[in-house]
Amino acid sequence: MRVGIEVGGTFTDLVAVEGGTVLTAKVPSTPASPDLGAMHALDAAGLDPAGIEELVHGSTVATNAVLERKGAAVCLFVTRGTRDLLLLQRHDKEAIYDLRYRKPEPVVARRDTFEIDERIAADGRVLKAPDRAATARLVRRVLAEGEYEAAALCFLHAYANPDHERAVAAIIREAAPALPVTCSSDVTREFREYERASTAALAAYVQPVMAGYVSRFSAALAGRGFAGRFSIMQSNGGRMPAEAMERNAISALFSGPAAGAVGAVRSVAGAGFRNLITLDMGGTSTDVALIADGRPELASMTRIDGLPVKTPVIDIVSVGAGGGSLAWVDDGGLLRVGPHSAGAMPGPACYGRGGDRPTVTDAHLVRGTLRADAFLGGRMAVDREAADRALEPLAARFGMALEELADSVVRLAEVSIVRAIQRVSTERGRDPRDYVLVPYGGAGPLHAARVAEDLAIGTVVVPPNAGVLSASGLLLSDHVHYRTRTRRLAVSEASMDAIRDTVEALQAEARDYLAGLGIEAAADFDRVLEMRYLGQAFEVPVSLSGMDLDRLQAEELARLFGEAHRRVFEFAKPHGDPVEVVSFRVGVRAPPPPMPSMGRAPANGRGAPRTAALTERGEALEAGLLARAELGPDAVAGPLLIDDGSATIYAPPGWTAAADGHGNAILRKGARR
């Protein structure tokens, strides 16, 4: 038996596979103790941990540690003269019109930052080696009080030569053998000092938290007889053994959203869909990603709470528009939805856990797109009257009928989702009309058709068991490890051997790392070069995956860069303008065992007609009711509410719904087909 457990902000999802059987469960999350929610999911599914061969886990533990500022007390060692690196940051502003704008607060304060008298040049030459005796005295003084729980190091140009970081790390370990030590050169070997320092500081900040969580969860599982393999999902869409994650927790920062994107790709691939926009709408947020040719696009950097993290991550944009997002009135008297959420506790008012503020889920219940007797397939009771009470003050303020106000709340949430999709598509040079929309999460299929309509996307593909797809993605994900390196090389025939050698060296490093963990990798490498015109400030990623490097010529590499640059910026310089490679990113994969389809065969017929009243876009509608198992190959015209057990699918008027041979629900805009 293989089990995937994904802990979200509101619900914890489980998918278990044994032979050809697939079992699912969905239980409320326990934010104070996420591992407790995971154990509840095992209990809800009736699973004995002793019978589980492999458990893959994704959680928000590392994310929450940063957002809630509950990480470890970290001391940071830097090159003399760079003590203010984390405070100076960059000169840009995230909100250019905000007169009260403040730069993001780093997780390490200035008083906890200490200078080492050393220096390495940009080409890796040693200009001044650290004095071992002086460094040891400083380390002993810093650690004497025992107030620090982790140490981080970020020396200038350590990406080019990590020797000084490793030497000082050894001194720290001699002084405090139990103290976790993070070197920037071990986290990322790419340039840009502030981003590298921020990544190292954040890695040290979450390391003890993540290590403690993994240790507690492992012990709880072992106490119930679990003796199988335990893996953790990474932000890059791959998983790693838990023991490796205890040393590199920063790579698990966005494990949940990454698992969903992988689950979406693998779930619909059999039906021939390779160009997707994924829409993961849960209880707290909505995460969207663009998938081109069946592979999630990786970004070289992301941000959390405004702080940069320089590590490969699936290019996901998140907005505060989930089922638990709160509806409120701003200072200008306008109705707003999100980004704040009711979370798992107390949750939406209709959950009956003490919440009394209106949320998107309450709005769905009031307008009729969620039904009280069918919430989570009828397994969870919700209170329609409590939802009414929560929304009534807003309806009175705006002089609107309750159902009309609820519909407005839902539509505002959809506006936020549309903007998020535009950020991963049109703002990246991609036309959303060339993609199908794949929604999942508990609320994604409810909103997908209207979001697609606003983006002129004509097809929505809802995978089987969409409400727990992120947990499926955990089991469908490969073991993945990436290596990065900054090495500036001009694109010319004279430098092509150096470019090939660098790629091959990173491939060997990544493959050897997995081999050291007992994982045999396939000869399937992701290869990306970060390139730019000479003199540009930032780079454009150019994929070389699947290409024969031995035959790659400088002219072809320059052409590939020109195409990538045009896609992003809508122009490319004339042929012959100097181009350079700045950084290399190489990943290696080890695929998981095959997983049975979660879909069901299309139905031969439906039961007696059933309908439900709902209000949408100013109209009172009578929607047909179907169980997902009743959906067959013949298209049925909307409006329709389709119960998926873990989610509800909504096909509005003007849309049709049908099932394909792979268990996907296909929603199409237009007349019945």
Give me the torsion for CA of 345, 348, 352, 356, rounded to 10°. 100
d(CA 429, CA 422): 10
pLDDT, position 603? 52
Place of tokens 């095959």: 594
Residue 130 DSSP symbol: P
Give the closest residue to 255 by CA, choosing from 267, 243, 263. 263
Q: pLDDT tens digits for 413-441?
A: 999 999 999 998 988 888 999 999 999 98
Q: pLDDT tens digits for 249-298?
A: 888 888 888 999 999 999 898 889 999 999 999 888 889 999 988 888 88
* 3-state helix/strand/coil string of 345-384: CCCCHHHCCCCCCCEHHHHHHHHCCCCHHHHHHHCCCCCH
DSSP assignments along 439-464, one per residue: EETTTHHHHHHHHHHHTT--EEEE-T
d(CA 539, CA 523): 27
Cα angle 116-119-124, degrees, rounded to a multiple of 5 = 140
Residues paired with residue 640 on neighbouring β-strands, in sequence order = 624, 651
Residues in the chain: 673
Residue 553 Cα distances to 540, 550, 589, angstroms: 19, 8, 26
Give the closest residue to 305 by CA, choosing from 345, 373, 254. 254
Bond preceding residue 639 cis, omega within 30 of 0 = yes
* 3-state helix/strand/coil string of 516-540: HCCCCCCCCEEEEEEEEECCCCCCE
- 3-state percent helix, strand, coil for the chain, nearest multiple of 5: 35, 25, 35
Q: At what angle do helices 496-516 and 554-569 cross, to 10 degrees?
A: 80
What region, left, alpha or beta, does residue 159 occupy, with left being phi > 0 and alpha being psi -120 to 50 degrees?
A: alpha
pLDDT, position 68? 81
d(CA 364, CA 530): 44
For residue 489, report the phi and psi dihedrals to the nearest 5 degrees.
-140, 130
pLDDT, position 597? 66
Extract the tokens encoding 48: 């004995």
Domains annotated for the chain, with CATH where assigned, are: 2-66+210-252 (3.30.420.40), 74-205 (no CATH), 479-590 (3.30.1490), 611-669 (no CATH)
Cβ neighbors of 523 (< 8 A, separation 6 or more) are none
Pick out the chain residues at pLDDT < 50: 671-673
Residue 145 Cα distances to 113, 134, 142, 185, angstroms: 15, 19, 7, 27
**Sign of the CA dihedral running 628, 664, 16, 12:** negative
d(CA 493, CA 111): 50
DSSP assignments along 94-107, one per residue: SSTT-TT--PPPPS
Using only C-alpha atoms, the chain has a radius of gyration, in whole angstroms, of: 26
| 59, 7 Cβ separation under 8 angstroms | yes
d(CA 297, CA 228): 31
d(CA 542, CA 555): 14
**Sign of the CA dihedral running 387, 28, 643, 671:** positive
Extract the tokens encoding 618: 């100013």
| 304, 322 Cβ separation under 8 angstroms | no
| 421, 288 Cβ separation under 8 angstroms | yes
